[in-house]
Amino acid sequence: MKIARKLFLALLLILAIQACNRDEETVTDIEIVNSSIFDLMKQVYLWYDHLPGLNPAMYSSPEELMENIRYSTYDKWSAVISKTEYNQYFEEGQMIGHGFLIGLDDSDNLRIAFVYRSTEASDKGVSRGWIIQTVNGTAANAGNVNDLLGDAKQGISNATGFLNNQGETVQITLTKEEIALTPVLHAEVLAHLEKKIGYLVFQDFIDTAKVELDEAFTTFLSEGIDELVVDLRYNGGGSVDVAQYMAGWMIGREHGNEAFVSFKHNRKLSSWDTTLNVPQKADGLALNRIFFIGTSSTASASELIINGVKPYTASVILAGSTTHGKPVGMYAFPFIDYDYVVLPVSFKYTNANGDGDFYDGLAPDLSAGDDLTHDFGDPEEASLKAILDYIDSGNVPLKSTRPAAFENKPLFSDEGIHQYLRAY
């Protein structure tokens, strides 16, 4: 991946110089950027042979260009974003906002799906399940809540009316702030009958997650857990390196240095094809099965880790609903002189058994809805309850533990980089 970045930086530098040195021709910055992006896509894009014939100068922005050249049969993810947006999330682990995710329940109430720790919202008691009723005196709904909450800028204040989990109306003023993301949203050891179950809710595959993963898995080891549940229901992916690191904790004790994920590029770049191994982790877990919780919001690196550990455990059991379906990955290619990072789909991936191409998502073994009315770790929460019932009986239920209407409908775009930047 580092080789790819270096090659691309050299390519963009050459292209920029060529554009700027055209004989007596005035070239706008957007033309330079668009031309460079289109030339890049012809080289590294997984579906380069499906690119349309067009003049990139026709488009008013790199974002508009990318939207029009993506291979629509499969690609919903290739994107162009700013360096600030990219660095803030992936390298610094930060965002600007209130630090909560909003979803719709079966009655179209705006419910809090999660709140990052160490935020003003968390400190003032806002938690999963609360209903947003008003923002600055205006009744909030799915159609207007984005506008009511405003841009992702520090200092924007919102007087928000909530209905808490006790049925009480609460008025809280929250100010958007720079937030250090806390990728482990929840971790605990559940006592269930005679078993200890490690339960982890993981949100962000970013570099800063490694310390929090170490803390959670060290606790699971010290408690001697019998089962592991990894809840990825809102996790849209991120760094493959962090997914690989997490796999070390899960299966690296017995399967370290064995194949974890293989990347296959287009025909032009077959020399970039590679296989990443499971990190050796002598003090990692050694369990016969692993449970996951997923939804349509579970994508990319989340699906990669579910798929990647399957060859090495007696059973991998997915609860919830069908995942997003992104068996491909992107490289990050920053421009040298312009404030853009290009994220083209550049490879597809498979596990050690060669399994991949799940564009329709990974289907659940235990069908259940995302029950926003119960907190993480609550044994009555639909997806977790489906797992606990299975642990008790060994039987797959004939129907969902909760009505299908409990399937969460999150309020964010799943296209491009926005699959990661979802909290408000």
- What CATH number does residue 100 fall under? 2.30.42.10
Residues 190 and 204 in one domain: yes
7: three-class secondary structure by DSSP? helix
Last residue of a domain, one of 164, 180, 196: 180
Q: Which two tokens stand for residue 36?
A: 């460079």
CB 61 within 8 A of CB 383: no
What is the secondary structure of 100-157 as a DSSP string?
A: EEEEE-TT--EEEEEE-SSSHHHHTT--TT-EEEEETTEEP-TTTHHHHH--S-TT-E
Residues 192 and 312 in one domain: yes
Residues 59 and 110 in one domain: no
Report how far residue 64's alpha carbon sits from residue 48's, in angstroms, rounded to the nearest whole number.
Answer: 18
Residues 212 and 352 in one domain: yes
Amino acid letter, residue 366:
L
Residues 72 and 152 in one domain: no
* Phi, psi (degrees; rounded to nearest 5) at 323: -75, 175
Domain holding 52, by residue range, is 2-76
Residues 145 and 282 in one domain: no
pLDDT at 410 over 80: no
Sign of CA dihedral 91, 92, 97, 99: positive
Q: Average pLDDT over the chain, rounded to whole? A: 89
Residues 164 and 286 in one domain: no
pTM reported for the whole predicted model: 0.89
What is the secondary structure of 154-169 as a DSSP string?
A: TT-EEEEEEE-TTS-E
Report how far residue 291's alpha carbon sits from residue 289's, in angstroms, rounded to the nearest whole number.
Answer: 7
Tokens 């974002």 belong to residue? 63
Average the pLDDT over 45-62 and give the result.
96
Chain-centre distance for alpha carbon 69:
24
Tokens 């293989």 belong to residue? 262
Is there a domain that residue 424 lies in? Answer: no
Is there a domain that residue 51 lies in? Answer: yes
Q: Which two tokens stand for residue 397?
A: 């239920």
Residues 244 and 384 in one domain: yes
- Of 15-24, 42-51, 178-187, 260-269, the poorest mean pLDDT is in 15-24
Query: If we measure between CA atoms, which residue out of 416, 399, 408 comes closest to residue 297?
Result: 408
Q: Which two tokens stand for residue 295?
A: 């939804």
pLDDT band at 92 (very low <50, low <70, confident <90, very high): confident
The conformational region for residue 391 under phi > 0 = left, psi -120 to 50 = alpha, else beta, is alpha
User: What size, in residues, is the chain?
Assistant: 424
Residues 37 and 123 in one domain: no
266: buried, middle or exposed (CB in 10 Å: 19+, 13-18, 0-12)?
middle
Average the pLDDT over 342-346 and give the result.
96
pLDDT at 359 over 50: yes
pLDDT at 400 over 60: no
- Of 94-103, 290-299, 394-403, the poorest mean pLDDT is in 394-403
Total number of domains constituting the chain: 3
Q: Using the 8-state DSSP alphabet, how is residue 363 labeled? A: P
Query: If we measure between CA atoms, which residue out of 244, 308, 314 comes closest to residue 281?
Result: 244
